[in-house]
Structure 1
Amino acid sequence: MLISAFASPLAREFHTVQSRGPGLVSSCRRSIKPISLINTLISMEYSIRPARAQDCTDIERMIMDLAVYEKMPDQVKICHKELERDGFGPNPFFQCLVAEVPQEHSSPGGHTVVGYALYFYTYSTWRGRCIYMEDLYVMPDFRGKGIGKALMATVAKVAMEQQCVRLQFSVLDWNRPSLDFYLSKGAQDLTEKEGWHFLRFDGEALEKLALEAP
């Protein structure tokens, strides 16, 4: 799935990170100070925190925004109820971080949750524990302020805390700004480097395959 957070150049940023304890996701509060056209400083604070069940309506909204950006809005078949069930039940299928801004910096629509990173754990038979980042998204009005980078870096921090050896994700081939950014941070393009193809069974194909089980 497309990772959409870096459509605009990243602004210069100054930050501190506060730990919430062993094994928990860190919370980042950052003061963003981009230089405006008239050379004055504008400051915005935001925090990166673990998502809560009550965030699922905002996460659903941003999932649809991301699908529209990817030109595949018809592919979204879930809503906040499935997100609550699958992410916040006794055996969660995924973990999620959200980026939140103070009310005074809310979006024109009044939203304070302005980005998210959704991920889950996988396993490599060659290397061991891994994290797969399914989505990384920041609302357009809040791009270029380091929020996407902060979300991704926090997922990487979780990976290190959980002794994972890989952070993996996929990017659509036409999303060159995001792809260039990830490569500049040290990511490897496995399709280009090793020839891997990302395959999927779903719908009728998945049902037919399941019928072949003994």
Structure 2
Amino acid sequence: MASVRIREAQEGDCGHILRLIRELAEYEKLSDQVKISEEALRADGFGENPFYHCLVAEILAPGEPQEPCVVGYGLYCFVYSTWKGRAIYLEDIYVMPAYRGQGIGSKIIKKVAEVALDQGCSQFRLAVLDWNKGAMDLYKALGAQDLTEAEGWHSFCFHREALRELAGR
């Protein structure tokens, strides 16, 4: 039986990460919104001051000489709560459909929780589309609180054109 390893992504994983980002976007019916490149992932995640951090999930087949297969990822960054201090935000979590139901997503989430605690974070935040009931059920089963239900929070985003307008450019 194959085993799963969750590890910090390395620069050489950027091609796999981009492949999985595209699969996630297709799953979420938002493929047209993926504008990131492998080069940007390298530059933004593996420099002196990375903008993001990433974990990858690999399947290791026992006794086989082939390379491990990257089947999932969790991309996160550190944020700051003015009420609670240090926090971690999981931007994406994705496991290829053929590997779901094996606990890989839970392992990625648990590893992010370990990173959060190691870095002194008091919160671990993430967002999910309102139709993804399976993900919401998983997060709740792992102990997450739905802030939309509990506190009425809604997420907003200023995209590039709105940013330019706000900045007067």
Give me the TM-score of the superposition, normalised by structure 1.
0.75
Answer with 177-186 or 57-66: which moved more: 177-186
**What is the match of residue 37 of structure 1?**
none
**What is the match of residue 75 of structure 1?**
33
Structure-1 separation of matches of 2:82 and 2:18: 33
Q: Out of 158, 162, 168, which is 1:205 matched to?
A: 162
Structure-2 separation of matches of 1:116 and 1:207: 32
Q: Which has the higher helix share?
A: 2
* Structure with greater Cα Rg: 1
Give the 5 Å matches for 1:20-169. Answer: 43-102=1-60, 112-169=69-126
Q: Is the 8 A contact 2:72 2:95 kept in 1?
A: yes
In angstroms, what is the RMSD of aligned CA positions? 1.7
**Unaligned ranges ≥5, structure 1:** 1-42
**What is the match of residue 176 of structure 1?**
133
Give me the TM-score of the superposition, normalised by structure 2.
0.94
Identical positions, percent: 51
Shift of 1:44: 2.3
Structure-2 separation of matches of 1:184 and 1:47: 22
Q: Is the 8 A contact 1:105 1:112 kept in 2?
A: no
**Unaligned ranges ≥5, structure 2:** none
| DSSP-derived class of the 1:133 partner | strand
For residue 65 of structure 1, what is the amino acid of its counterpart?
A: E
Structure-2 separation of matches of 1:111 and 1:158: 23
**What is the match of residue 31 of structure 1?**
none
Shift of 1:60: 0.1
Shift of 1:140: 0.8
Greater than 3 Å deviation, 4+ residue runs: 103-106
For residue 92 of structure 1, what is the amino acid of its counterpart?
A: P
RCO (CA 8 Å, sep 6+): is it higher in 1 or 2?
1
Shift of 1:184: 1.7
Structure-1 separation of matches of 2:162 and 2:53: 28
Structure-2 separation of matches of 1:98 and 1:58: 9
Report how many aligned residue pairs link the two structures.
167
